[in-house]
Structure 1
Amino acid sequence: MLVVRTRARRARRAGRGGARAVTSRFPAPVLHALTAAGWYEGVRLPERELRARLRSWGDPAAYFPPPVTAVLREFGGMTVHQYGPGADMSRMPFRIDPGAGLHADRSLRAYGARYGPDLVPVGEYDLGRGRLAMDAEGAVHLFWGDLWKVADSFDGALVALVEGRRPRRLDPAAPAPLPPGEPADEARARDLARHRAVRGGPLGAVDVVLREFELGWPAFPVFADPDPLANVGAGCLIVDRRNGLVTQMPALPADRVLDMYRAWYPAR
């Protein structure tokens, strides 16, 4: 990625100018992985560049709490490429980029309403199959089929992710109340899904395919690139016939996704 290369160039320049700061902030294997991704102690995005990236990563009016802003200033754009066994589970790649999780914002808000903290997307996990998010206190969560607590701090999350430590699954509370809205028929559902999914560009979805179930319509994106690996982690949308709510769902088998949605917003 461009940002990673930029970080790497800064690191090389810092190395030419003098020895880089030695840190005990992370265990040696974690520090090695972060250094390979272009991070080093003391690296920070300049304020103007950070603000420009925040605008490019999402809605200019979006609110990034101070702990999230601090993380993006230091780690924004970093990608850790890794595979293999970990302490409790396989180690998977992850990327710190709020834009990668923006299309999951409705799901994150739904989880936030259920568990208490408002969640802000900060990146992706497992090639887009999971979304990393933070709350205003700095705790890191993983939306990966269900909501998981990774760590109470971002540094702790980096250690857990690099070392392959299993996050803690949060037990769902009572089903969320159905938000108000206008009922949707299939034609309106298609329009809502297309407006949400079809963004343009060579890598974006070009259309959606709807499949009906009792609460509405799952909408699966259709991509111009026929290679299925090119669109790993795309997931699907669900348009609720009762209120027109459009919810981003994770990249899981269709039956699992429908069961999740039924648990979130059951028929009444």
Structure 2
Amino acid sequence: MSSERIGCSLADAASGPDYLSYLEGASIFPPSLHVIYVNTSLETKAPAHELVPTITCTLSNVVQTVLQAFAQVPDLNVCYGPDSYMGTNIKELFQQMSLMTDEQISQIHPKHDRLSIRSLLPRLHFFQDGTCIVHHLFGHEVVGKIKDMYCDAFLTAHLEVPGEMFSLAMEAKGREMGVVGSTQNILDFIKRIVIEPLERNVKDHLQFVLGTESGMITSIVAAVRNILGSVDSSSARLVTVEIIFPVSSESITGTSANASQDMGSVQVGDVI
């Protein structure tokens, strides 16, 4: 194996001088709160906390963390980092929330309404130069493929994907054909959609486009197989499920001639 250090592009972005300057700017305008993604080093979090009070978040609780902070501290400025894609998407999510009814917003967070959401938008800031190389691959090229080939599929998007993919999934979510959020949110959504035709005992072919890291494929396929295996065979045969992982050309690696021969009769189309 390579002896080179295995790093993380997001963690590296938060350890550079640009990120320190970003936090120094935030410290000038109290009250401020720094919300930082969990996959950053303690070497980053400790000095950050010296400049601005810092809370570590995960993808599953970042939205609630930010909303709760705004609800508790009047005139708070929240600085999120280091993922610029997630920061953009969180702000887009709040902008869409500002168009909801007060009742819909209160179901997301009981201390907020349209007025409070609109007032917090100018006070939510995010680092502009941090990207995850894994989620960066869901850019313009992938979105074009999805629109052309899978316009009727269910769309899922992790909060770390680029804005185009996030917007596409948000639009699908509005039609009850998609979900945006954490990997657990995506998994729960797919399981719920698969269970519905089984409970109604109807025939259906379901397509799910995964807008998240490839590591999720195994757990999602296993979950779907468990659901189909939990019902009698006649019902399971009525429902087919297709898990689609769209990739950009940047993520495709060539193989040697010998490796291609070893593949035998397997065709590219066999693997989705």
TM-score, normalisation: structure 2: 0.28
Bigger proportion of residues as strand: 1
Q: Which has the higher helix share?
A: 2
TM-score (norm 1): 0.29
